[in-house]
Amino acid sequence: MTILTDSTPDQIRVAAQAAADAAPLWAATPIAVRATLLRALASALESQRNALVALADEETHLGAARLNGELDRTSFQLRGFAERIETGEAQPVQDDPAVPGAPPVGRPHLTRVAVPVGPVANFSASNFPFAFSVLGGDTASALAAGCPVVVKAHPGHPGLSRAVFELARGCIAALGLPAGVLQMVEGAGIPVGVALVRDPAIAAATFTGSVRGGVALWKEANARPRPIPFYGELGSVNPLVVLPDALAAQGSALAAQLAGSITLGCGQFCTSPGIIIVRDDEAGQTFVKQLAEGLAAANPHAMLNAGIRAGFNAGVARLHGRNGVKSLLALPAREAAPGAHLFATDATTFLADEVLHEEVFGPSALVVTVRDLAQTLQVLQAVQGTLTVTLWGADADTPDNRALVRTAQGIAGRVLFGGVPTGVAVTAAQQHGGPWPSTTNALTTSVGYAAMERFLRPVALQDAPAWLVEAKGQA
């Protein structure tokens, strides 16, 4: 087992300064070299697949099948960012030629370009030891944008973090790039994260984790003498609305699919559906019964660590016996693995009790029964902000469905009309981010190729010499 030690203030300062020293060179590095590094990192992961997956499984209990798939996703997105920057997306140029005359008709020659913001602090996530960790999406998108990265390794998988970091260091050295392009600090102590965010060399930060930890770091980022952008993914209940039309068509199949989504990865997905909204009628009751049966048959594995398990236990304990809440399923734990839990309440109780709006991170969900569309909209609006909303049965163009879609778009970054929210595709059109409290910035995404935009600052060049405009447009 890897012995975890907190990086010292001096070590954090050295890592951040190394990133700052490398920033000008990395920002000016040709796109071809950036792409070569990203592809080399992907190949390095794959070359050590067996050893890395075994180490990850030992530290996270996520299982070889899940971890192999996650390693594939990580390599895929590294190569995907390489392809995107080769098309010019990391160096966008918008050119407005000069127009003779005085404003507003006339104008000078303006060229809008994008420049890397500088060193990025990336706080790794516990639940995705490859895809949201040392070489995960935040690191890949920052490197693609031309920004060095200082990774804060997650204490839940320190051995894996060190192994991946050493692979990355080898790739960087092999290309003759400065070591400051990628640095890493570690530790479970709060001072490590605070010191990293406070370091004057850090120009932006990314975070995936708890609301409490994310809010604390977000406040630190904004309290600096020179505040920096903090892109935090904090928590999400991901409401799923089951409309009568969907139940009439395939109620039992949907119940089985939903049970699988709730327990996938032992419920430790940021997109796990935590609130299920159904009509209070016979079809809705049948669906809930089928959902409970599906959850009862599930076999969740052990949770990531003792802290997450304690948080899950506390979350379900708050709901068991709570006024107006029924416990439909409370399976006992099996050694290190928790049992699934299912609760139910009505819309009136849900709207009056803010505790019911909180995420329970693990294999648990709350059914909220509603009388009609009006109550459905009220329940969704009470959620405030979430990564996803799923609308099953809203396919027809009706006034009710239009109202549902408007409300869903108002609180979520991704609205689904089929399937389940667990599983986030890495693609150009993806949006993984939603209004507070799901993220600290609903205007950006942490998954997909638009993630680079977080680390590119727009600059307008007025009457710039030709050599500069041409240089900015070169890929």
| Mean pLDDT score, 410-428 | 96
Do 176 and 216 share a structural domain? Answer: yes
Res. 12 pLDDT band, cuts 50 70 90:
very high
**pLDDT value for 447:** 97
Do 249 and 340 share a structural domain? Answer: yes
In a domain, 86, yes or no: yes
Residue entry with tokens 């594995």: 301
Res. 8 pLDDT band, cuts 50 70 90:
very high
User: What size, in residues, is the chain?
Assistant: 475
CATH of the domain at 52: 3.40.605.10
In a domain, 109, yes or no: yes
Do 227 and 245 share a structural domain? Answer: no
Res. 473 pLDDT band, cuts 50 70 90:
low
Q: What is the mean pLDDT of the chain?
A: 95
pTM above 0.85, yes or no: yes
Domain range for 115: 9-234+439-473
| Mean pLDDT score, 282-299 | 96
pLDDT tens digits along 355-396: 999 999 999 999 999 999 999 999 999 998 999 999 999 999
Do 342 and 214 share a structural domain? Answer: no
Do 194 and 83 share a structural domain? Answer: yes
Do 80 and 45 share a structural domain? Answer: yes
Do 380 and 250 share a structural domain? Answer: yes
In a domain, 1, yes or no: no
**pLDDT value for 5:** 87
In a domain, 428, yes or no: no
Confidence check: pLDDT of 90 > 90:
no
* 266 belongs to the catalytic site: no
Three-state SS sequence of the chain: CCCCCCCCHHHHHHHHHHHHHHHHHHHHCCHHHHHHHHHHHHHHHHHCHHHHHHHHHHHHCCCHHHHHHHHHHHHHHHHHHHHHHHCCCCCCCEEECCECCCCCCCECCEEEEEEECCCEEEECCCCCCCCCCCCCHHHHHHHHHCCCEEEECCCCCHHHHHHHHHHHHHHHHHCCCCHHHEEEECCCCHHHHHHHHHCCCCCEEEEECCHHHHHHHHHHHHHCCCCCCEEEECCCCCCEEECHHHHHHHHHHHHHHHHHHHHHHHHCCCCCCCEEEEECCHHHHHHHHHHHHHHHCCCCCCCCCHHHHHHHHHHHHHHCCCCCCEEEEECCCECCECCCEEEEEEHHHHHHCHHHHCCCCCCEEEEEEECCHHHHHHHHHHHCCEEEEEEECCCCCCHHHHHHHHHHHHHEEEEECCCCCCCCCCCCCCCCCCCCCCECCCCCCCCCHHHHHHHEEEEEEECCCHHHHHHHHCC
What is the share, in percent, of the chain residues with pLDDT greater than 70?
Answer: 99
In a domain, 421, yes or no: no
* 233 belongs to the catalytic site: yes
Give the number of domains in the chain. 2
**pLDDT value for 299:** 87
Do 228 and 257 share a structural domain? Answer: no
Do 290 and 153 share a structural domain? Answer: no
| Mean pLDDT score, 44-65 | 96
**pLDDT value for 109:** 95
pLDDT tens digits along 240-290: 999 999 998 898 999 999 999 999 999 999 999 999 999 999 999 999 999
The residue from 186, 233, 359, 453 that is catalytic is: 233
Res. 74 pLDDT band, cuts 50 70 90:
very high
CATH of the domain at 289: 3.40.309.10
> What gap in Å lies between CA 418 and CA 183, rounded to an integer?
41
Confidence check: pLDDT of 334 > 90:
no
Do 197 and 279 share a structural domain? Answer: no
Do 213 and 118 share a structural domain? Answer: yes
**pLDDT value for 475:** 46
| Mean pLDDT score, 334-343 | 90
The residue from 89, 266, 270, 453 that is catalytic is: 270
In a domain, 3, yes or no: no
Confidence check: pLDDT of 472 > 80:
no
pLDDT tens digits along 156-168: 999 999 999 999 9
**pLDDT value for 122:** 98
In a domain, 432, yes or no: no
Confidence check: pLDDT of 199 > 80:
yes
**pLDDT value for 333:** 87
In a domain, 250, yes or no: yes
pLDDT tens digits along 202-239: 999 999 999 999 999 999 999 999 999 999 999 999 99
Do 278 and 169 share a structural domain? Answer: no
**pLDDT value for 474:** 58
